[in-house]
Structure 1
């Protein structure tokens, strides 16, 4: 199983948001809240679905929505990957 990285998250977030994404680079968004990036709960849930499908990891919706920044979300996903291994 491939380890989930911030680059993976940026790619998936860009796919979900399309052209309207405010994502310029991983370093720029790692500690910016999803709200400030323009991601609402529906966009985050779509991001979760894509992460689950691509990386075979499942997080409860409330756990996923509790991640307030991309860095925190990557930490939660990689922790879940480690627990599943």
Structure 2
């Protein structure tokens, strides 16, 4: 999964904030600072599973705080390893 995929999923699940560019220097910015809450992240996890067939355990996904941590959790789940 790429940052572009994540940006699309977040926009579809929680709406898109025109002022946020997840492709910029926001990979390590907390989701709260980007305007996304835990509900948006859980909806994003569901969308990732539906579209990509990658299931990230809920406890691992809820521990993600930044776009980079989501990408790493999805990569880990896709590889079948723990992050």
The alignment covers a number of residue pairs equal to 81
- What are the Cα deviations for residues 6-64 of structure 1, in whole angstroms up to 9, with x where unaligned? 11101111112224464224123211101111111111100110011111011121210
Give the TM-score normalised by structure 1: 0.83
Q: Aligned residue for 1:29?
A: 26
Q: 1:22 to 1:50 in 2, by over 3 A?
A: farther
Q: Gapped runs of 5+ residues in structure 1?
A: none
Which structure features the higher share of helix residues? 1
1:16 aligns with 2:13: yes
Q: Which has the higher contact order (CA 8 A, sep 6+)?
A: 1
1:82 aligns with 2:79: yes
Give the TM-score normalised by structure 2: 0.84
Asked if 2 retains the 8 angstrom alpha-carbon contact of 1:10 and 1:23, the reply is no
Q: Aligned residue for 1:50?
A: 47
Q: Gapped runs of 5+ residues in structure 2?
A: none
